[in-house]
C-alpha cells in the first residue's frame, strides 16, 4: 500500500524534475502525493481499469511504458486488470463489481482508462458507467483531484487560442472530488405541488470537506508560484458563501500565499481571455469538473492531460481526463499521451518513483520533439500516426532515456 499522505513538512515531488531547456516544459512542482519520496520497496501491485471505448487502447500503451520504464529503473509490477463502467455492466450487471473495488483498495495504485458510451446512456442512474466511477472514488476516499494544464511549446499552435494567449500557460486545478452536488442528499425525482415531475440535487459541503481540499490547494500553491484562486458562486449560492468563509479562515495559516476569489462564470471567461493569470485554482466538485475540461482545451487537446486523485491514505487513482470517445474506439486513432502521463503521475505521486516518472516525462517530450502526432494534435509538418505506433515511439524514447535539454 502507498504510505499515508502528509500535507505539511513534505519534501516536494516535482512535476518538472529537471532544468528544462527553452523547448521543454512540465508543470511547476507540488508537494502533494500519496507515498513517501523515497520508495520503501521496488515491487508494486497496480490495478488496471481499461474501462470502455478507447480506454483499453490507451491503457495498453501506458502498461507497456510502465513495464519498460520500470525494468530500466529496477521496478517490478504485478498488474491486476479489472472491470469498471460499461464493460462491468455487460459482464456483471453492475458498474463497479465488488471484486474491482477490493482489488483497487488492496493495490499500491490504480490506473484507469475511460468509462462510458452511447450504449449505456439510457440506463437508470444506478446502472450508468459513470456511477461506477463515482463509487470507485468514494470507495478509495480520494477527495483531491489534481489536474495540471500545461501548454507544451511543441503544441502551442494546436490550441484554438492565439499563440500569444496560449504560450506559457501552466496552471493546476485542485478539484474537490467526493462532495458537493455529485454526492449531496437529498437527491432524486419527485412531483411538485402542481403535480409536475421534478428532478433535484443538493449542493452541500461540511466544514471539514472544504478545509481539507483548501489546505491541499494552499500547499500546492506554496510549491508553485504562491498564488491561489478560489472559484465559487458566493453571490448566489449558500454553499459557495460557506466555501468562501472557510477558505478565508484557512488563509490566515498561509500568509505567504496570494489568495484571490472569483465567481465561476467569470473564471470560465478569464480562462479563455487570459489563462496565464492563473497558477493554482481550487474549487468544488462540479465547478472543477467543468473548468478543468475547459482548461484542457487551452493546451490543444484533452488527450494531453493527466490527473491524479489522492486521499489521506491508501492508493491513488490516476487517469486521463478525456472520455471514452466511442466514436473512434477500436480505430487506432486515440491519443495515449494523457494516459502515459497519468502513469508518470502514478509513479511520482503514488509510488515515489521519481526517476522512472522522469524517464516517462522526458520520453513524451522527446516523442513530441520528433514530430509524432495523433489526429487530435496533428498539424502540417508533423507525422500523423495511430495510437499503437505512437506508443512504440514513446517506448523508443523511454529506452533511449534522452535527458532534458538534449532533444
Which residues are designated catalytic?
Answer: 182, 233, 265, 289, 293
Q: Is residue 114 a contact partner of residue 55, using CB atoms and an 8 Å limit?
A: yes
Element (H, E) at 189: strand 188-191
What is the DSSP code string of 16-51?
A: S-S---TT---PPPB---SS-SS-S-SEEEEEEEEE
Q: Is residue 301 a contact partner of residue 341, using CB atoms and an 8 Å limit?
A: no
Residue the block writes with cell 463497479: 96
Long-range CB contacts (< 8 A, 24+ apart) of 180-186? 180/204, 180/205, 180/239, 180/284, 180/285, 180/286, 181/285, 181/286, 182/134, 182/285, 182/286, 183/134, 183/138, 183/285
Cα radius of gyration rounded to whole Å, the chain = 20
Residue the block writes with cell 500547499: 219
How far apart are the C-alpha atoms of 293 and 200, rounded to whole Å? 24
Dihedral angle over CA of 145, 149, 152, 156, nearest 10: 150
Q: Which of 286, 84, 330 is nearest to 183 (CA)?
A: 286
Phi, psi for residue 172 in degrees, rounded to 5: -130, 125
How far apart are the C-alpha atoms of 330 and 324, rounded to whole Å? 11
Phi, psi for residue 270 in degrees, rounded to 5: -65, -30
DSSP conformation class of 254: -
DSSP conformation class of 199: E
Handedness of CA 218, 221, 227, 231 (dihedral sign): negative
CA angle 179, 53, 340 (to 5 degrees): 75
Amino acid at each position: 500500500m502507498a504510505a499515508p499522505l502528509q500535507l505539511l513538512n513534505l519534501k516536494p515531488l516535482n512535476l518538472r524534475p529537471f532544468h528544462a531547456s527553452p523547448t521543454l516544459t512540465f508543470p511547476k512542482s507540488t508537494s502533494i502525493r500519496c507515498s513517501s519520496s523515497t520508495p520503501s520497496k521496488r515491487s508494486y501491485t497496480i490495478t488496471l481499469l481499461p474501462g470502455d471505448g478507447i480506454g483499453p487502447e490507451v491503457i495498453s500503451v501506458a502498461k507497456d511504458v510502465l513495464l519498460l520504464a520500470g525494468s530500466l529503473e529496477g521496478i517490478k509490477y504485478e498488474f491486476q486488470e479489472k472491470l469498471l463502467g460499461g464493460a462491468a455492466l455487460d459482464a456483471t450487471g453492475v458498474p463497479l463489481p465488488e471484486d474491482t473495488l477490493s482489488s483497487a483498495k488492496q493495490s499500491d495504485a490504480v490506473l484507469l482508462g475511460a468509462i462510458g458510451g452511447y450504449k449505456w446512456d439510457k440506463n437508470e442512474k444506478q446502472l450508468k458507467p459513470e456511477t461506477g466511477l463515482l463509487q470507485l472514488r468514494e470507495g478509495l476516499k480520494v477527495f483531491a483531484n489534481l489536474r495540471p494544464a500545461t501548454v507544451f511549446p511543441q503544441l502551442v499552435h494546436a490550441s484554438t487560442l492565439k499563440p500569444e494567449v496560449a504560450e506559457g500557460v501552466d496552471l493546476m486545478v485542485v478539484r474537490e472530488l467526493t462532495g458537493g452536488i455529485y454526492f449531496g442528499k437529498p437527491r432524486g425525482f419527485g412531483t411538485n405541488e402542481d403535480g409536475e415531475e421534478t428532478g433535484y440535487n443538493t449542493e452541500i459541503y461540511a466544514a471539514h470537506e472544504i478545509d481539507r481540499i483548501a489546505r491541499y490547494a494552499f500547499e500546492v500553491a506554496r510549491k508553485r508560484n504562491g498564488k491561489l484562486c478560489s472559484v465559487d458562486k458566493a453571490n448566489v449560492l449558500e454553499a459557495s458563501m460557506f466555501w468562501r468563509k472557510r477558505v478565508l479562515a484557512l488563509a490566515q495559516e498561509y500568509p505567504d500565499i496570494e489568495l484571490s476569489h472569483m465567481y465561476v462564470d467569470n473564471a470560465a471567461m478569464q480562462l479563455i481571455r487570459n489563462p496565464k493569470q492563473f497558477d493554482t485554482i481550487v474549487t468544488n466538485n462540479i465547478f472543477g469538473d467543468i473548468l478543468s475540461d475547459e482548461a484542457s482545451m487551452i493546451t490543444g487537446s484533452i488527450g494531453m492531460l493527466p490527473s491524479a486523485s489522492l486521499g489521506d491514505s491508501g492508493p491513488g487513482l490516476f487517469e486521463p481526463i478525456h472520455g471514452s470517445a466511442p466514436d473512434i474506439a477500436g480505430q487506432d486513432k486515440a491519443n495515449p499521451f494523457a494516459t502515459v502521463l497519468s502513469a508518470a503521475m502514478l509513479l511520482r505521486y503514488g509510488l515515489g518513483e521519481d526517476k522512472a516518472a522522469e524517464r516517462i516525462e522526458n520520453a513524451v517530450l522527446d516523442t513530441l520533439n520528433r514530430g509524432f502526432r495523433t489526429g487530435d494534435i496533428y498539424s502540417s509538418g508533423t507525422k500523423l500516426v495511430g495510437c499503437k505506433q505512437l506508443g512504440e515511439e514513446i517506448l523508443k524514447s523511454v529506452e533511449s532515456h534522452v535527458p532534458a535539454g538534449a532533444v
